[in-house]
Amino acid sequence: MDKRLLTILRCPVTHKGLSLLKKDKLERINAAIVAGELSTHEGERMTQPLAEALVTDDGKRVYPIDDGIPVLLESESIHMEQLA
């Protein structure tokens, strides 16, 4: 992900900044996906692990990156409270 792009991207819902999700959190999310415990904002059960993702500055919302393209749709976002 281009660092210049990260400086201008914002969460479409909260308008908070976004950064790449760290590897340990990505692994935690992927473990929850494999276990069938994670849903998108729309309630759709996730089945495919993420290769990359963006997280809001407050750490509450995650957006997948699909083939290098950030998917900044509220319906595709993941609420981190699901992992608590």
What is the per-residue pLDDT for 1?
67
Query: What digits encode the pLDDT tens for the residues 30-45?
Result: 999 999 999 999 999 9
Rg of the chain (C-alpha set):
12
Q: What mean pLDDT is reported for the chain?
A: 94
Which pTM does this prediction carry?
A: 0.92
Question: DSSP readout, 63-77?
Answer: EEEETTEE---GGG-
What is the per-residue pLDDT for 4?
83
| Burial of 30 from C-beta contacts in 10 A (0-12 / 13-18 / 19+) | middle
Q: How confident is the model at residue 3 (pLDDT cuts 50, 70, 90)?
A: confident
